């Protein structure tokens, strides 16, 4: 998971960024020493509060989705974020599939369905990452997010830290 990213053809700038990273510089100092570096916003939460980490991950996900050439995916991320029940969960993606967890990284506790957006702006809500275990097909991202909310357990509490190794790690995905 990238904490910084960027592109430059100036190897001196790359060396400056690598040196600052190696020396343990804060991310903002790396950005100052190598201007091509862009902070992703991930995990820039000093106290590692799970709720604030969740907010940080949502912001990163929204920013990343808005820069992709996949408007249906960006719409899905925004629709999920607009739903308070989904926004309260830690979001993560794999292969353009949006999932949710009740714990932060590294040990995720998956909850609820998987949301997928295809290139023709049809949305799938399913139990599996490949669309298996179909729950709903939706014409809009908002409909897909609403269907996902209906599938959530009613007794979800606030997101907790996934930094502690769970007792039964076979039930977790990281």
The secondary structure of residue 4, as a DSSP letter, is E
Same domain, 87 and 148: yes
Residue 139 lies in a domain: yes
Please write the tens of the pLDDT for every residue from 119-129. Answer: 787 999 999 88
Let me know whether 30 and 65 are in one domain: no
Find out whether 80 and 35 touch, Cβ atoms under 8 Å.
Answer: no
97, containing H or E segment? strand 97-101
Query: What is the tally of structural domains in the chain?
Result: 2
Q: Is residue 162 part of a domain?
A: yes
Spatial contact of 89 and 103, defined as CB atoms under 8 Å apart: no
- Per residue in 20-52, pLDDT tens? 888 888 877 887 888 887 766 655 666 778 998
| 30 and 102 belong to one structural domain | no
Q: How far apart are CA 43 and CA 16, in angstroms?
A: 22
For 80, the domain range is 50-171
């Amino acid at each position: 998971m990238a904490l910084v990213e960027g592109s430059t053809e100036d190897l001196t700038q790359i060396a400056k960024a690598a040196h600052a990273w190696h020396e343990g510089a804060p991310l903002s100092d790396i950005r100052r020493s190598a201007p091509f570096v862009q902070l992703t916003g991930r995990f820039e939460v000093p106290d590692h509060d799970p709720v604030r980490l969740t907010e940080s991950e949502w912001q990163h996900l929204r920013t990343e989705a808005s820069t992709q050439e996949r408007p249906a995916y960006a719409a899905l991320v925004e629709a999920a974020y607009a739903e308070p029940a989904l926004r309260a969960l830690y979001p993560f993606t794999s292969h353009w599939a949006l999932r949710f967890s009740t714990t932060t990284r590294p040990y995720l506790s998956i909850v609820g369905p998987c949301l997928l957006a295809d290139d023709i702006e049809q949305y799938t809500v399913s139990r599996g990452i490949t669309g298996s275990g179909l729950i709903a097909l939706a014409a809009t991202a908002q409909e897909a997010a609403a269907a996902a909310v209906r599938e959530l357990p009613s007794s979800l509490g606030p997101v907790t830290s996934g930094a502690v190794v769970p007792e039964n790690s076979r039930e977790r995905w990281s």
